[in-house]
Structure 1
Amino acid sequence: MIFLHARHCQPCEQLRPQVEQVASNTPEVDFYALAAEGQRHLCKQLGIVGFPAQVFIDRNGNRSVVMGSDWRHINKALDKLLEVHV
């Protein structure tokens, strides 16, 4: 999972400790955080138009993106990744 955030984004800062907790509790998934300001090309390629955003990539290279901080959507994508990843 890649957690894309902006440095001055309040929802990003609120979500960060929760993502870090999930990362520490889910060692079978690689977690990365990326400050994405100025990364317009990357964000455009991923279809990201706002922050926070999470990108999930399975072992087969299939990608899904969750925008926002709603844990229902994040957990659904994470569960799907774990089905394929583990």
Structure 2
Amino acid sequence: AKQALERLREDSYDLVIADLFLNEITGLDLYELAKDKSRFIIITAYPERELALKAKSLLGDRFIPKSTPPEILKSKVASILKEEK
């Protein structure tokens, strides 16, 4: 997580896919740091937790439970990558 934080401070990315619950920080911390220069999808195995509900309110349909079928995730990624930054 710390390495991701450092890289997001230095560069922008077409799309960042991050788990909501990381070791030292959260996926929302990464999102808040780089939301102006990178697009995000946040995933979690715990969509009912309070932090997950906050992520859902910030990210909308870019907050995805890990139980989401791979084809839906692929479709979401393709859709986001087609959007203008």
Q: TM above 0.5, one fold? A: no
TM-score bin (small chain)? 0.3 to 0.5
More helix by share: 2
Greater share of residues in strand = 1
Which gives a bigger RCO, structure 1 or 2 (Cα 8 Å, sep 6+)? 1
